[in-house]
């Protein structure tokens, strides 16, 4: 297995769409370059912010192959290959492996409740099917299934399960994953899926974050990790805190929709999220415009 260092700020890059909801490949290429030029440390196609939950298999392949081709080895590519069934997840993982992705990010199954043993067997079977590093992805508010820290620790004993992303918003859970994962594998990489917790995850021994806000502010978000690694901890904290006003706009809709709408308001033709998850009330649009201007005046980009 090829070892890839998991570190830094990795945007779950949005999937630009045309008016008919088809993938806007040209703008996807533009966003890849925008993110990399902003200093991000990896790219994560069809994650939650990339609307992976609503793309079909062919669309996912198109997005992944486009991102890999445009990135051209400049940053590692994380492929979000988790599906509800073990069978389909393995199929998506093999697709990503063939396409040339560097790392797999696998969300827990959703809708049907799964026991911890079922989750363990799910990930164990997937890990055995590919020769690629795997990052577990816990986001129970969306999937209904939470990975217990003990399960993470057990999975970390499998050679190619090398890290976890936690989007629960519970910092105690991140700490528990870190403890359990590193007990099994000292190199186990912990990524925050909650943008507000990135610097705190780094301080606890984590590796960075998969940050939706980086779609709006790639340079600002990437600087959290860069400043931290330079030893400028207080400046890293300030950079992390600077996104608070933008995140406050999440109350106006699905966070994915707010992020994509914000990128569109910045002037990029990324389209709307795929229906029905695509509405932002007028008061939300006005709030976003105000915050985007205020943050631009402060130099955020």
| Cis-peptide, bond into residue 276, ω within 30° of zero | yes
Rg (CA), the chain: 18
Vertex 167, ends 94 and 14: CA angle to 5°? Answer: 60
> Which of 46, 109, 37 has the alpha carbon at shortest distance from 77?
46
From the candidates 60, 154, 165, 260, which is the catalytic residue? 165
Query: In 3-state terms, what secondary structure has residue 242?
Result: coil
Residues 282, 284, 288, 290: what is their CA dihedral angle, to the nearest 10 degrees? 70
Residue 165 annotated as catalytic: yes
Task: Specify the DSSP class assigned to residue 209.
Answer: E
From the candidates 123, 137, 177, 252, which is the catalytic residue? 137
Residue 137 annotated as catalytic: yes
Beta bridge partners of 183: none
> Which of 96, 51, 103 has the alpha carbon at shortest distance from 77?
103
Q: How far is CA 140 from the centre of its chain?
A: 15
Q: How far is CA 289 from the centre of its chain?
A: 24
Query: In 3-state terms, what secondary structure has residue 194?
Result: coil
Question: Which active-site residues does the annotation give?
Answer: 137, 165
């Amino acid at each position: 297995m090829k070892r890839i260092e998991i570190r830094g700020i990795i945007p779950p890059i949005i999937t630009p769409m045309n008016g008919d909801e088809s993938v806007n490949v040209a703008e996807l290429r533009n966003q890849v370059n925008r993110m990399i030029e902003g200093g991000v440390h990896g790219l994560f196609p069809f994650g939650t912010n990339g609307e992976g939950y609503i793309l079909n298999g062919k669309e996912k392949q198109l997005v992944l192959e486009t991102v890999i081709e445009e990135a051209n080895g400049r940053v590692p590519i994380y492929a979000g290959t988790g599906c509800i069934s073990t069978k389909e997840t393995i199929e998506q993982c093999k697709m990503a492996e063939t396409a040339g992705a560097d790392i797999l990010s696998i969300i827990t199954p959703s809708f049907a409740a799964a026991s911890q043993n079922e989750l363990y067997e799910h990930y164990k079977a997937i890990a055995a099917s590919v020769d690629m590093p795997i990052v577990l992805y816990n986001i129970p508010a969306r999937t209904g299934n939470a990975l217990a820290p003990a399960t993470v620790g057990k999975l970390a004993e499998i050679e190619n399960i090398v890290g976890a992303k936690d989007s629960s918003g519970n910092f105690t859970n991140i700490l528990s994953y870190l403890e359990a994962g590193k007990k099994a594998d000292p190199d186990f990489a912990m990524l925050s899926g909650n943008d507000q917790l990135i610097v705190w995850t780094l301080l606890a021994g984590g590796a960075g974050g998969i940050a939706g806000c980086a779609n709006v502010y790639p340079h600002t978000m990437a600087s959290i990790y860069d400043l931290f690694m330079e030893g400028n901890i207080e400046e890293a904290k300030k950079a992390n805190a600077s996104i608070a006003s933008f995140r406050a706009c999440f109350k106006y809709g699905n966070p994915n929709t707010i992020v994509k709408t914000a990128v569109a308001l910045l002037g990029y033709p990324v389209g709307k999220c795929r229906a029905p998850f695509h509405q932002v009330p007028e008061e939300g649009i006005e709030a976003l415009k105000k915050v985007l201007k205020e943050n631009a005046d402060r130099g955020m980009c």
